[in-house]
Amino acid sequence: MKAVVQRVAEARVEIDGEVVGRCGRGLMILVCAMGGDTEANAEALAARIAKLRVFRDDSGRMNRSILDTQGAALVVSQFTLAADTSRGNRPGFAAAAPPETGERLYEHFVAALRAGGVPAETGRFGADMAVHLINDGPVTIPLER
């Protein structure tokens, strides 16, 4: 699985003008299931993100996790993280998991994040969403599992 994790002051996702998910101080997580990924990949990625030390400690160093700060996450499915541009200017997405598998692993990832103690809201898999966020830092970290 691939993810792009952004430390945010706040984030929300809207569908047709309706807010369907939001978080305050915490993480905006864009996530994509790749072909061959399993539930184990989703669980490992969720555990890694829950422990990722990207929040400042009392000395101003990035030394605290979302668990340490009692933050929350907004998780949005983003199959375009599987983009392959090696053959030209139009990205290909053949490396992404099929939609049914992608949705199952996306939901499993969110459940694993919650089970690990991170409050998480979501967008809607496959929907056309407007994502709003205030990036804090900015801090943006790409991850794979």
Q: Show which residues are catalytic.
A: 78-80
CA distance 102 to 35: 9
In terms of DSSP bridges, do strands 55-56 and 62-64 run parallel, antiparallel, or are they unpaired?
Answer: antiparallel
**Running DSSP on this structure, what letter comes out for residue 82?**
G
Beta bridge partners of 15: 18
Structure tokens at 12: 């929300």
For 80, 123, 129, the CA distances from 54, given in Å and listed in that order, are 24, 23, 26
